[in-house]
Homo-oligomer: A and B are copies of this chain.
Amino acid sequence: MVRVGICGVTGYAGYEALKWLRRHRGVEVVFATSESQAGKSLAAVYPGPLDAPLVAVDDAPFADVDVVLLALPHGAAAQVATKALQAGCKVVDFSADFRLDTPETYARWYGHAHPFPDMLPVPYGLPEINRAAIHGARLVAAPGCYPTSVILGAMPLLRSGLVTDRTIIVDAKSGISGAGRAPKLNTLFAETHDTVTPYNIGHVHRHVGEIEQELAKLSSGAAPTVLFNPHLVPVVRGMLSALYVRIDEQVDAPTLQALYEQAYATEPFVRVLPAGQLAAMAHTTNTNMCAVSVTLAQPGLAIVMSSVDNLAKGAATQAIQCMNIICDMAETEGLL
């Protein structure tokens, strides 16, 4: 049994992780932390089937666990990660603290110096592009939800060398749980239920940093620029990214389809839909799957639809997938 600690279990992603770990046959959850609710039990502060005593991070017995899932806010995660590593734990971090490879890139996107620049770079925890590096790591930076959908959607095209314009337009739709559980005006029910709201469009959303960093590594040609246009839509969980990519005008639809099917033929958690079907949020809700469809809209323009559950493959279950890899368990354990 791998002994696991979860930090930040009262956030949506941390709670989701605990929910999935109930069904995992290779782990035992030893502790669960919450700063705001320490001393209470999880069932007292969260309706739902789960329960666990909540301890403060400072009281968490890191020495008693093999691996820590770190579902803390950006900025708060890095310090706890160092503490867990010093206690001998392996760590999968859900936050953005270790996703960018250099202190310079981090400062560019997060507006301040990285607190532990010597720890960078850390393996980017997207197994489908980085499985080997994850396997040997003691610290893994699980990707953001938007980056997961965009990178998996773009990867086959970028590797193929068929992309002809380095500007990729992404129109993304996210469920509202992605904004977290802290009360804010713009995530109130009455503000969000009957509307779709774009925000941070263009080249400003922080996830652009990690998307462009990883796409550059995958590209056979020039590093892509991603114009990333996210929208809040009134679902609790789910994410759908539409990628508009200019490609070689000679490529036909069957070639595109084959490119995607081959790229993911052996991946257990990426499903390429048959030609003619379009990926929707419903394909992946409550799963660790990414569903991808590719459509030739006209000669020279491909539309990729990429769907993940922002709390699952976009956060908690992807972290568990990484945990399975770094702990030498079957990669799919607990994730079906």
Contacts and interface: CB of A to CB of B under 8 A. Distances in A.
B281 A196 contact: yes
A177 B190 CA distance: 6
Interface stretch (A181-189, A209-217, A316-324): A181-189
B167 A295 contact: no
Interface stretch (A79-87, A100-108, A198-206, A258-266): A198-206
Contacts of A295: 201-202
Contact of A188 (B173, B187, B203): B187
Interface residues of A, number: 69
A200 to B, nearest CB: 9
A284 to B, nearest CB: 7
Contact of A49 (B177, B184, B203, B284): B284
Interface string A218-244: 000000010101010111111010101
Interface in A246-295: 271, 274, 277-287, 289, 295
A207 to B, nearest CB: 15
Contact of A286 (B196, B201, B286): B286
Interface string A165-181: 00101010101110001
A197 interface: yes
Contact of A283 (B47, B177, B305): B47
A188 to B, nearest CB: 5
